[in-house]
Chain A
Amino acid sequence: MSANQTASLDLEGVSRRFGDRVVLSDVTLAIPPGRITCLLGESGCGKSTLLRIIAGVDRPDGGRIRMSGTEIVGPGRFVQPESRRIGFMFQDYALFPHLSVAENLAFGLRHLPKAAQRDRVAEVVGRIGLAHLIDRYPHSLSGGEQQRVALARALAPQPAILLMDEPFSNLDQGLRERVRRETLATLRRIGTTAIIVTHDPQEALAVGDLIVLMRGGRVEQVGTPFEIYDRPRSPYAAEFMGPCNRLTGIWSKGRIETPIGTFPADLDLPDGSLALACIRPQALSIGPDGHGISARVTAKTFMGESEQIDIMVHPLAETLRMHSHVRIPMAVGEKVSLQLNGAEIHVFADDGLGANGRGANPRENID
């Protein structure tokens, strides 16, 4: 279990269809060695299929995959999953119900002599803290315990790459945080290449060194968490990573002109065409009337650590939504002034979805 076992992964034009449905089309990706990569996307975007193809339990219809430069999938070439040194952890853990924890852990070690198997099991047991569970059977374990056994079992054969399909989604909220922290610590310590599938942008931002945002079987954007969140390449990416206020405006001389202001952006659009500004709630703040754009509070929802405030700005048809972490003294109906922080505003060519952005988007534009 040392860092020199890790491998990089290169995907080139990988595609997969089930009958008439295209699940993956032309996916090209480079996954760096020794890092944690998150495959992020809504359900049905192909991320789990991609994971299964990398593991070798599914075959792509086209494309190549190279592992540290060696082709494992390509035209006329298919390395069987048992020969890939790629570990796979399933969302439901897939522990063998007829085997004890110790036998589950030793399952992937058959190629080793008995003594070496015992040593290796003892090593992962110590590393992940499972000693007290070793004789139990999967059905008697809690969700968190099952997750750890599944992780230990996948790591025991010292895979060069570890794949995890929604590894934390079967856990309750409170447990999830803790297990995630422990799992990450283990992965970092071993230094293995890990690919984690998730549908939760918060999880991807918290966990990944690299995020691959997928949409409809294609790669939408690849980047570090900061790149993806701060410089989304599309309205879809912007809205998937967090709530946004959509504002349509006119593009003119390198800026978008909207009713609440003009914002510069690095876009190549003809003057006079429609453009779209996605304004994060935290880009907005309000103060007493008279110090900025004139607006009116239409609704306030107290959420505990923050307060969600809807404000109406003339002449917008839709209200803007913002979150405030300090108490807002203004009551519903009161006039306020609106200030904007330009760094949290992303500008794109218009995607034709209008102000509420519904249609292709999986999430409400404001949570």
Chain B
Amino acid sequence: MAWVTDRIRPARSLGFGAWAWIAASLLVAALVLVPVLALLWQAAQGSEGLWSHLARYVLPHALGQTAILMGGVGVLTAAIGTSAAWLVTAHDFPGRRVLEWALLLPLAVPTYIVAYAYLDLLHPLGPFQTLVRAALGHDSPRAFRLPDIRSMTGAILLLSLVLYPYVYLPTRAMFMTQAANLVEVARTLGTSRRQVFGRVALPLARPAIAVGVSLALMETLNDIGASEFLGVRSLTISVYTTWVTRSDLPGAAQISLAMLLLVVALVSLERWARRRQRYSVSGQRARSFAREPLGRGAGLAALALGFLPVFFGFLLPALYLAVEAWQRFQFAGLSDRLLAEARNSFVLSALATVAVLACGLVVAYAARVFPQRGMQLVHRAASIGYAMPGTILALGILIASAGLDRWIGQAAGALFGVDPGLVLIGSGLALGYAYLARFLAISIGSVEAGLTRIPRSYDQSARTLGQGVTGMLRHVHLPLSRPALAAAGLLVFVDCMKELPATLLLRPLNFETLATHLYGEAARGTYEEAAIAAWAIVLVGILPVILLARVGPGASRG
């Protein structure tokens, strides 16, 4: 009966395999939660009399600035994103198809890069103002200059120009898949074409707009470069300066708590809106409604109008950077320093991507195989990083790993009589950790999207054919979800390449990436090789936009 026992034994190890998956998934969730807990712990320590200073002079101003910034970006992204979505879904004009995906392009430009580019472009001595002065017949910046882009208004404008796709994307999907029957039934109930937007489309799109705006605002909260370059003293900047300039870690942690409240508010808004969206989805069949063909003049006007955000949010800064980068390249070639930084960016992002993908796979797969309530909580905890500003995460990780490094140092000192220094931070592990915590949600989400396409019956077949939980992953789920994994990898990789705040705070000494190089030059006001770095980041950033344009709702249209 050896054959029988052979067959039974794998069944026992299947139980162990299952526990291993659950434990691994718990570990990943704990990793994501640790920085937040460390931050709470640190904030509770109090900051030796500095808190009253922070509370009186720093926090109210920073909160006010952040509120204005978020308010402005929220309104502007909602306006641009929604009208662009309506323009391309409800009307037909030459160039509409191109415009439909071109409107996504500003996603490729990180906030700090758009700020960097416009700062240079609109500098009083820069190309644009010089041109305007020449046109108006002035010859000195003293005689005529445009309002300074380095202002709250400038920050709101520039951030909105690159963040509106967050609203455009879900709203367009909503219009394309949900609105058709509702718009048509509204017409037969006496609503004219002009009234349809206000009476039907806009109220229907509210949840989608809210989802988009909450994501755009999370990015706004996360931004450090644009605010810094444009002189907006936002919460992020306050955390950064309190920490780096004043070396007041508890104070920085306390300001971070204020940010955390905003994050919770944004996440709640997003969750609420997504629930509302589910309601509206129920029972409706996906179909595009008949687009209104526009005449020649109106069509050209629509194209021009829709092209505005693409021009200002992508084309102009990208072209400008390309020209600047080319000139710099002609003038000085590529310095070894920049090449080394590019290599740093690439290697770091690639390693982090592997880790993020692996952890995402663990959580998403465990949540699929063990769909109990507890695992859903684990899943949710592991995904909170996406809403967390990089600065907050970096702060939490710094607190946690500083403790760990001290402990390692003491242990090494006692055992071997050597001081290894700051192991976690010095090796860049802390930075990789920050990427993991922040981008894990992207990888979980994408992997999950891939897994849900695999019918449950495959799982059951695999199990009855003798595969354990792990074998099933290797032989069934991994091969079938390879495209989803590739997409997740691309998204995470590009986000790591673009990441600035956490990289700035957690990188080892004298370790520079393309993003931190750009930040350094812009902060110093020396414009040298940064244009090349910026151009490289934008180029890489276009990759996920192409992916989005291909898999977006447009692809599923019949």
Contact = CB atoms under 8 A, between A and B. Distances in A.
B201 to A, nearest CB: 11
Contact of A87 (B181, B182, B188, B191): B188
B376 to A, nearest CB: 22
Contacts of A96: 182, 186, 200, 203-204
A56 B283 CA distance: 23
B269 to A, nearest CB: 17
B95 to A, nearest CB: 20
A98 B186 contact: no
8 tightest Cβ-Cβ pairs between the two chains A and B = A108-B189, A94-B181, A97-B280, A81-B187, A88-B188, A57-B184, A139-B279, A94-B185
A94 B189 contact: no
Nearest to B284: A92
A5 B517 CA distance: 75
A98 B193 contact: no
Contacts of B206: 98
Contacts of A154: 188-189
A87 B290 CA distance: 18
A99 B206 CA distance: 13
A57 B189 CA distance: 11
20 contacts: A55-B184, A55-B187, A56-B187, A56-B188, A58-B290, A59-B290, A81-B187, A88-B185, A88-B188, A92-B284, A93-B283, A94-B182, A94-B184, A94-B185, A98-B204, A98-B206, A99-B203, A139-B283, A153-B189, A159-B188
Per DSSP, chain B at the interface is: helix
Interface of B: 181-182, 184-193, 200, 203-204, 206, 279-280, 282-285, 289-290
Nearest to B207: A98
Contacts of A57: 184, 187-188, 289-290
Nearest to B182: A94
Per DSSP, chain A at the interface is: loop
Given A98-B206, A108-B190, 5 more contacts: A57-B290, A81-B187, A94-B181, A110-B191, A163-B188
A86 B188 contact: yes
Given A98-B203, A139-B279, A90 B181 contact: yes
A82 B192 contact: yes
Contacts of A146: 283
A92 B285 contact: yes
B204 A97 contact: yes
A82 B204 contact: no
A159 B189 CA distance: 9
A82 B187 contact: yes
Nearest to B289: A57
A255 interface: no
B283 A157 contact: no
A273 interface: no
A139 B284 CA distance: 11
B186 A107 contact: yes
Contacts of B187: 55-57, 80-82
Nearest to B184: A57
Interface string A145-162: 010000001100101000
A94 B280 CA distance: 10
Given A57-B184, A58-B290, A92-B285, A98 B189 contact: no
B280 A157 contact: no
Nearest to A80: B192
Interface in A92-128: 92-99, 107-108, 110-111
A64 interface: no
A199 interface: no
Contacts of A86: 188
B476 to A, nearest CB: 35
A278 B282 CA distance: 44
